[in-house]
């Protein structure tokens, strides 16, 4: 079980995007551990409601499409959220147990993960979605919350 919330604010203090070496014609991708709500769903995308939850399909300027689905499993109280992120110097605004899936085509199909995410007002970034804890499956996440 991965618990990135234990490290965010202590070992991980820089919340800015990191430029990768994965470049296409000089355009290098940036990745983030936390996602600013300002940049969420920026640009053009298609959305739909399916068995996977709410999914969005984004096509980049090179014509590559990726679909991401979000399925809300359960709301998490802010006390639990704050406990899962003990080093963030901001209070949790809201938190959810989500199943998140990615699909980029091909025979592998969707790849899903289950985790608790919290919304925090991070210095220099603003309101951001922060991954706090991941589980092997939905049931383990739901059982964890029942024990809280």
Statement: residue 1 has pLDDT above 70: no
Number of domains in the chain: 1
Domain with 92, as residue range(s), is 4-146
- Mean of the per-residue pLDDT values for the chain? 87
SS3 state of residue 42: coil
The model carries a pTM of 0.84
- The residue written with tokens 């951001």 in the block is 128
Asked if 34 contacts 47 with a C-beta cutoff of 8 angstroms, the reply is no
Give residue-wise pLDDT tens across range 52-104.
Answer: 889 888 777 777 788 889 999 999 999 999 999 999 989 999 999 999 999 88
**For position 138, what pLDDT does the model report?**
97
């Amino acid at each position: 079980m991965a618990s990135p919330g234990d490290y965010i604010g202590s070992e991980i203090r820089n919340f800015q995007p990191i430029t990768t070496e994965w470049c296409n014609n000089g355009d290098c991708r940036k990745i983030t551990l936390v996602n600013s709500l300002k940049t969420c769903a920026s640009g053009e995308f298609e959305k739909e409601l399916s068995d996977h939850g709410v999914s969005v399909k984004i096509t980049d300027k090179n014509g590559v499409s990726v679909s991401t689905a979000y399925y809300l499993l359960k709301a998490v109280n802010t006390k639990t959220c704050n406990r899962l992120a003990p080093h963030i110097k901001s209070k949790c605004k809201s938190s959810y147990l989500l199943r998140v899936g990615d699909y980029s085509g091909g025979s592998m199909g969707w790849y899903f993960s289950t985790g608790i995410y919290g919304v925090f007002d991070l210095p220099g970034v603003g309101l951001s979605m922060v991954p706090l804890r991941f589980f092997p499956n939905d049931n383990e996440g739901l059982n964890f919350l029942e024990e809280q």
